[in-house]
Amino acid sequence: MNVRVRFAPSPTGFLHIGSVRTALFNWLYARHTGGTFVLRIEDTDTARNTEQSLRTILDGLAWLGLTHDEGPYFQSQRAAIYRQRVKQLVDAGMAYEREGAIRFKMTREPIVMNDLIAGKVTRELGDREVNDPDFVIVRSDGNPVFHFVNVVDDLEMKITHVIRGEDHLSNTPKHIALFRAFGVEPPKYAHIPMILNKDGTKMSKSDPDPVKARLASLTGYIEDGYLPEAVRNYLCLLGWSPKDDRQVLPIEEVIQKFDLPQVLRSNAKFDAAKLEWMNGQYINRLTGEELDRRVTGIPGADVAYRRRVLELLKSKVTLLKQFPERTKYFFTDDFPVEPVDAALLGKLADRYACVPTWDAASLEAGLKALATELGVKTGQLIHPCRMAVSGQTVGPSLYHMLEVLGRDRVLARLRKT
C-alpha cells in the first residue's frame, strides 16, 4: 500500500502546538513508510479565515522542515466536487432534504473501529440519537459541514491513514458511515492523545495566563529564538518514545524508528524547561559560522570576530534571543563596572602586555605566575579581571574570553579601572 496521510489545518488563528505535533506525526509516518504527505487547507469558514493565519501555517511548517509532497489544496476551491458528492448520496437515497438542509441517513447499527492508537472503539447511538440519528451534511445556506467535506476530501485524495488529535475520535463514526455510504472502505484511523500543560490543564492560545497562552502557539518559539530542530525533536517525544533514555535524537533516526503503534495512549505533558534545555543542547552543537547565520542583533562588521564570540558563548545560552545581551561587552566598552583593586589590575595589565602569544594557555600561566609573585590567591586576580573586562561576575572561561577580546581591548579595560 502506498501510504498517504494529510495535515488539514484551518487558517483561523495561530498554529497551535498540538496541531504542529499532529503535522509532525503525519510527516514522520509518511517519511517512515516512504509515503506521501498531503497539505490541505480547510478554509470553508470564510468569516474567520485570514491570509495572515494561512501564512503562519505555511511559514511554520517550512520553519520546522515539514515539507509536503502534495498541495496545498484549498477546500474553498472544491465546491463543485462537494456538490457532486451530495447529489450522489441523495440519488442513492442515502441523504435527503429537511427544512432546507441536507441530512445524511446515519446507520442505526453500532460502529466498531480499530484505532491504531486508541484500540478497539465501539460507538453506539446515544439516547438523543435513537429516534433521530441522522445529521446535517449541507446547511440551509448551501454550505457543506466539516464532517462531509472532510470525508469527501480524504476519499478524493486517497488518504490511507488519518492521524489526528483525540478530540476528533467522537466524530469518526460519522465519517466511517459516510465512507461506507460512498461504497469505499474508510482509511485507518490513529487518534493522538492531547498535549496538556505541566499542571494538567489544556493548552490554549486563549489561556488567561499569558505564559501558558504563549506556550500554545508555535509563533512564540520562533520569536524567542528556539531552533526548529530542537522544537521538532521535543515534539517527537510528546507521546512517542524510541524505547531508550536518549532525548536528543537526529531526525533521520526518528524517521527510521517512528511507527503509530508506539504512540502512547496517555496524554502528554508539555515541559517548557525541558524544551529550553534541549534547545541549549542543539545550540551548543552549532559552529560559530552556523550561529552567525541564525542569530540577529549582534553588532560589528568583523565577521570572524563575531563568530568567535558566538562560539565562546554558546554553552552558556539556551535561546538565540539571549545572545545579543550576553555578548554586549565584546562590542562596546560602555558597561558598568563594580569597584575593583586598580593597582592589582594594573600589575596584571603590565604582565599581560609582555605575553608573547595572546592565547588562553599563555594568559592563564601569566596570571598564575603573577599571583604567586604577589603572594595572593588566583581568585584575587581572576574575579577583578573578569569584572574589569566584561562588567560580569560570571561568564565563559576567563582565559578564553580574554583571548577572544584581544590584547588591545583587555589591556585598555584593565588600565581603565
- The pLDDT value given to residue 299: 82
First-to-final CA distance of the chain:
74
- Class of CATH domain 210-284: mainly alpha
Query: pLDDT-based confidence at 126, cuts 50/70/90?
Result: low
Q: Torsion over CA of 111, 114, 117 and 123, rounded to 10 degrees?
A: 10
> For 372-386, what is each residue's pLDDT tens digit?
999 999 999 999 999
For residue 137, is pLDDT > 70? yes
How far, CA to CA in Å, does 356 sit from each of 265, 346, 349, 367? 64, 18, 13, 14
Q: Residue with C-alpha cell 514522520?
A: 28
- The pLDDT value given to residue 280: 98
For residue 301, is pLDDT > 80? no
> For 178-188, what is each residue's pLDDT tens digit?
999 999 999 99
Average pLDDT, the chain: 94
Percent of the chain with pLDDT over 90: 88
Asked which of 95-99, 204-208, 253-257 is least confident by mean pLDDT, the reply is 204-208
- The pLDDT value given to residue 252: 97
Phi, psi of 398 (to 5 degrees): -55, -50
- The pLDDT value given to residue 13: 83
Mean pLDDT for the stretch of residues 330-355: 95
In 3D space, the residue among 320, 335, 317, 7 whose CA is nearest the CA of residue 161 turns out to be 7
Indicate the angle between helix axes 398-405 and 379-390, nearest 10 degrees: 40
Annotation marks residue 105 as catalytic: no
Question: Do 405 and 300 form a contact (C-beta atoms < 8 A)?
Answer: no
Whole-angstrom distance, CA of residue 391 vs CA of residue 348: 17
Of the residues 105, 202, 205, 274, which is catalytic?
205
Q: Where are the domains of the chain?
A: 210-284, 288-330, 342-416
Percent of the chain with pLDDT over 70: 98
**Same topology for domains 210-284 and 342-416, yes or no?**
no
Question: Do 96 and 54 form a contact (C-beta atoms < 8 A)?
Answer: no
For residue 100, is pLDDT > 90? yes
- The pLDDT value given to residue 357: 97
> For 214-272, what is each residue's pLDDT tens digit?
999 999 999 999 999 999 999 999 999 888 878 999 999 999 999 999 999 999 999 99
Classify residue 37 as exposed, middle or buried by CB count within 10 Å of its CB (0-12, 13-18, 19+): buried
For CA atoms 337, 341, 342, 348, the dihedral sign is negative
Mean pLDDT for the stretch of residues 120-137: 76
- Name 363's Cβ contacts closer than 8 Å, sequence gap at least 6: 352, 355, 399, 402, 403
- The pLDDT value given to residue 129: 58
Question: What architecture (CATH level 2) is domain 342-416?
Answer: Orthogonal Bundle (1.10)
> For 208-217, what is each residue's pLDDT tens digit?
999 999 999 9
The structure's pTM equals 0.92
For residue 170, is pLDDT > 60? yes
Classify residue 277 as exposed, middle or buried by CB count within 10 Å of its CB (0-12, 13-18, 19+): middle
For residue 131, is pLDDT > 70? no
Mean pLDDT for the stretch of residues 130-153: 91
Whole-angstrom distance, CA of residue 276 vs CA of residue 284: 12
Query: pLDDT-based confidence at 130, cuts 50/70/90?
Result: low
